Amino acid sequence: MKMYNFNSGPAILPAEVLQQAAEAVIDFNHIGLSILEIGHRTEWFVNVLEEARSLVKELMQLDDSYEVLYLQGGATQQFMQVPMNLLDEKATAAYCDNGIWGAKAIKEAKLFGNVHIACSSKDREHTYIPRELSVPQDSAYLHYTTNNTVEGTQWNFIPEANVPLVADMSSDIFSREMPFSKYSLIYAGAQKNAGAAGATIVVVKKDILGKVSRAIPSILNYSNHIEAKSLMNTPSVFAVYVSLLTLRWIKKEGGLPEMERRAQERADLFYDTLDSLDAFMGKVDKRDRSLMNATFTTQNPEHEKLFLDICKNNGMVGVKGYRTVGGLRVSMYNSLPLSSVQVLCDLMKDFNEKHG
């Protein structure tokens, strides 16, 4: 029996994507070869890559001033690749300090130039999104994490800044409509809403490139990847294919408006239940709650393990909080059915009756 999958990433994928990916491992498009066996410069794979890149653009409604790249190294590599390509040694970039992942991005950026902290939620353990930002006019860019996977907060507005906007959208990409053309660079590991681990999506507005004076190693230079159409070296062929299948699924299901409607529906069900029960409590400010990753705890700390055991015994995975943070967390990405959230809510209600 399939488990209820609340994993934070790698995470749940649509059943039909898994089926299609499995078939392609045996025989890709009936060509007599596995997707794992074809060359990355064959027409077969070039078509996959081109369709995936153009679907990203289509879903985000971006024009040709943007390029979509499929890279490797995860979002973590982008923490350093972004400043390496965009931040000169003596220049300053503004960063929002709203969680574990953002802090890692800040640490890497400091290796390349000056970092100005535009806002921080450290004072309350990143349980909210600050409304006040300070962004120096001459900042090379403003960087922020649209959804804080670990802490369970999400920006539901776009930070105001008259400088290029750079966003780590790893955990909420393709989950909601956004004015993506306001951004100069967007990156995300594919392993949550956009496919399998191993592929990293980078969407870049071409006019921000070529402005830093440092020498950039070839493989880390976005301009080289643009020129090579994401085929500078061997890409993660299978992960890109799974990403394509996932993007096709998103489009077929109704695109980002429908993903957003489903995300809201799941989150409403979960948070309404959470707020109605004495045995549990949410961890972050209500107005900043993430639609993707809900963080919470048991009112009685001793009950946490008990609840986790109950979840496990009922076929659930991914209910435990991030390893360094603890508590409880459920991730509710695009393909998580509402019915899975309902099963979890029923368990929580039952737990509340017994232990609330």
**What residues make contact with ligand PMP under the rule CB under 6 A?**
9, 74-76, 101, 145, 149, 168, 170-171, 189
**Choice between 52 and 194, CB closer to ligand PMP:** 194
H runs (alpha helix) in the chain: 15-26, 43-60, 74-86, 100-109, 222-227, 237-253, 255-276, 303-313, 338-355
Nearest approach in angstroms of CB 101 to ligand PMP is 4
97, 168, 172, 288: the catalytic one is 168
**Choice between 152 and 303, CB closer to ligand PMP:** 152
Would you tell me how many other CB atoms lie within 10 Å of the CB of residue 143?
29
- Report DSSP letters for 89-100, one per residue: TT-EEEEEE-SH
What is the Cα–Cα distance from 148 to 352, expressed in whole angstroms? 28
The b-or-e profile of 38-74 (16+ CB within 10 A means b, else e) is bebeeebbeebbebbbebbbebbebeeebbbbbbeeb
155, 172, 192, 320: the catalytic one is 192
> Is 146 assigned to a binding site?
no
Nearest approach in angstroms of CB 74 to ligand PMP is 3
> Is 234 assigned to a binding site?
yes
> Is 8 assigned to a binding site?
yes
**Choice between 193 and 273, CB closer to ligand PMP:** 193
> Is 191 assigned to a binding site?
yes
Nearest approach in angstroms of CB 344 to ligand PMP is 21
97, 101, 172, 320: the catalytic one is 101
The answer to whether 312 is a known catalytic residue is no
Contacts of residues 216-223 at CB distance under 8 Å and 24 or more positions apart, as own/partner, are 216/84, 216/85, 220/81, 220/84, 220/85, 221/85, 222/69, 222/81, 222/85
Nearest approach in angstroms of CB 138 to ligand PMP is 27
Please report the sign of the dihedral spanned by the C-alpha atoms of residue 55, residue 61, residue 65, residue 67.
negative
| Cα distances (angstroms) measured from residue 262 to each of 145, 193, 254, 332 | 22, 13, 11, 10
Name the residue whose CB lies closest to ligand PMP: 74
**Choice between 86 and 348, CB closer to ligand PMP:** 86
The answer to whether 104 is a known catalytic residue is no
Nearest approach in angstroms of CB 104 to ligand PMP is 7
Which residues make Cβ contacts (< 8 Å) with residue 256, sequence separation at least 6? 59, 174, 175, 176, 177, 178, 250
Which residues make Cβ contacts (< 8 Å) with residue 68, sequence separation at least 6? 52, 53, 54, 56, 57, 201, 202, 203, 230
> Is 42 assigned to a binding site?
no
**Choice between 85 and 200, CB closer to ligand PMP:** 200
Nearest approach in angstroms of CB 178 to ligand PMP is 15
> Is 75 assigned to a binding site?
yes
The answer to whether 101 is a known catalytic residue is yes
> Is 41 assigned to a binding site?
yes
**Choice between 75 and 178, CB closer to ligand PMP:** 75
- Pair of tokens at residue 180: 């993506």
Known binding-site positions for pyridoxal 5'-phosphate: 75-76, 101, 149, 168, 191, 233-234
Instruction: List residues forming the annotated binding site.
Output: 8, 41, 75-76, 101, 149, 168, 191, 233-234
Annotated binding site for L-glutamate: 8, 41
Q: Which residues carry out catalysis?
A: 101, 168, 192
